[in-house]
Structure 1
């Protein structure tokens, strides 16, 4: 396999904060020409067996996946894991602990929204949750759009759910080293997700890459739905500088909300080492 593979190794289902089932995602990915797919639900591996079976049913290659929330330098960073054993005890228990604080955080978010006149947001958000353990800002955003408070989810985040706004509540997630260790011990490969999205200055970004690699991290998303063409080049250069493999994934959540559909990203540059080359023996 080479860089010109239509691999989509980052997307979300109803098991976390997507709107489609793993089966519907597999069908959509295959219809869009995806050759290698991974479902990467937030802090959860509960959809992995369904996704692998669905990929097989439509004749598509599959890698197990998850996206772990990590606190690094006081902000949330996401680490994608690929090609691991989804039943590995340390990974399963680590993800369970990471999910544990979400309900308390969600109730605090609802309290903040109530103070500015938006009542019943917790109950409203619950209507959009496929997995109550994984209630998130995205579910609140969908409720506020559906109830007419905002035009779209971007407006919700801008007005209510980002730092300094009424519904924002920080959450302390896993540590970077823990997330990389869980993935690695389960036989997988850890990848920094969509690095351009983090509010890092160059010094902190360099520190993230350095510490990630020191913990055993081996990849970075170069081509992803929220990156610009210039950022594809920037993170290709950083991948080479740090000796990291490159990943490609849409970060698809919903047909109505996502930056990019499954399988519709540009290919990786030929100078990069694709993560799937390092995971060839884990592809199902």
Structure 2
């Protein structure tokens, strides 16, 4: 029997990936995954297409990656991402917050694009928006793609390092969801939350272990330990923290298609951890292709 390969963090072009939801599912099947989660940023718009494309026997976890703000545990604030799984997408609170965030993301992208264009960079916000689905959240990876297309940079990583990093010359902040509100919102919609790439410190400011403990007390279900951006030291810290706090442990690729050089299934989740997520969730079922 083939081993179960479970990847619980991927993106389609409904947010900042390059694959359609159907292409994402097909790519996951081709990579040998038994289960894939679609976790686009602040939207559930790709759920139905992904579900319709499921090949026989393959499982789909429907979710989203939520952009949140949190105390960093050092006297300041930082951005954190939550992976929300198997919640009810018809929750009025979630619909309203996702709509607000889409507007906020587009406002931010336009301001950053205009700032870059004023500095002479070949970036046009209207062109970026025209290429996106109307309900897709817009983000910095779309600006990175525009810079790559124009030949300014050769990769997404280079675009972020040179132009798009937090605190960089063109960075604009945004009003994300307070993390404690997000945990409560997903719990009330029957879902399970997992802290995404929580200790990937090279991305920017991260929260401390003490803040993770606070989130666990508020209902956080797990931590994403096995992620391409986590060092062995990061993983060891998080594993110890998860054991202390009785949190689930997941692993995921954070696949974005052609926007990153990460392959599906590069990091995976143990089957018993997926079983625990499914057993705790009441908002949406795990789907299996027939």
Query: Could you tell me the TM-score, scaled by structure 1's length?
Result: 0.88
Contact persistence 2:7–2:269 (CA under 8 A): no
Pick closer, same or farther for the CA change 1:247–1:150 going to 2, 3 Å. Answer: same
Q: CA deviation at 1:52?
A: 2.1
Contact persistence 1:128–1:142 (CA under 8 A): no
Comparing 29-38 and 85-94, the one that deviates more: 85-94
2:105 pairs with 1:102: yes
Q: What is the match of residue 262 of structure 2?
A: 260
Comparing 43-52 and 116-125, the one that deviates more: 116-125
2:70 pairs with 1:67: no
- In 2, the alpha carbon distance for the partners of 1:249 and 1:194 equals 9
Which consecutive residues of structure 1, in runs of 5 or more, have no partner in the other structure?
none
Q: CA deviation at 1:180?
A: 0.8
Q: CA deviation at 1:240?
A: 0.8
Query: Could you tell me the TM-score, scaled by structure 2's length?
Result: 0.86
Pick closer, same or farther for the CA change 1:226–1:131 going to 2, 3 Å. Answer: farther
Contact persistence 2:35–2:58 (CA under 8 A): yes
Q: CA deviation at 1:135?
A: 1.4
Q: CA deviation at 1:250?
A: 0.8
Q: What is the match of residue 121 of structure 1?
A: 124
- In 1, the alpha carbon distance for the partners of 2:10 and 2:131 equals 17
Which consecutive residues of structure 2, in runs of 5 or more, have no partner in the other structure?
72-76
Counterparts of residues 229-240 of structure 1 (less than 5 Å): 229-240=232-243
Q: What is the SS of the residue equivalent to 1:68?
A: strand
Q: What is the match of residue 228 of structure 1?
A: 231
2:51 pairs with 1:42: no
Q: CA deviation at 1:195?
A: 1.0
Pick closer, same or farther for the CA change 1:155–1:200 going to 2, 3 Å. Answer: closer
Q: Deviations over 1:227-248 (max 9, x none)?
A: 2344333322221111100112
- In 2, the alpha carbon distance for the partners of 1:258 and 1:119 equals 21
Greater RCO (CA < 8 Å, at least 6 residues apart): 2
- In 2, the alpha carbon distance for the partners of 1:163 and 1:278 equals 32
Contact persistence 1:247–1:274 (CA under 8 A): yes
- In 1, the alpha carbon distance for the partners of 2:9 and 2:268 equals 14
Q: CA deviation at 1:70?
A: 0.2
- In 1, the alpha carbon distance for the partners of 2:132 and 2:56 equals 27
Contact persistence 1:10–1:252 (CA under 8 A): yes
Q: Report the count of equivalent residues.
A: 274
- In 1, the alpha carbon distance for the partners of 2:50 and 2:89 equals 12
Q: CA deviation at 1:71?
A: 1.0
Q: What is the SS of the residue equivalent to 2:41?
A: coil
- In 1, the alpha carbon distance for the partners of 2:31 and 2:98 equals 31
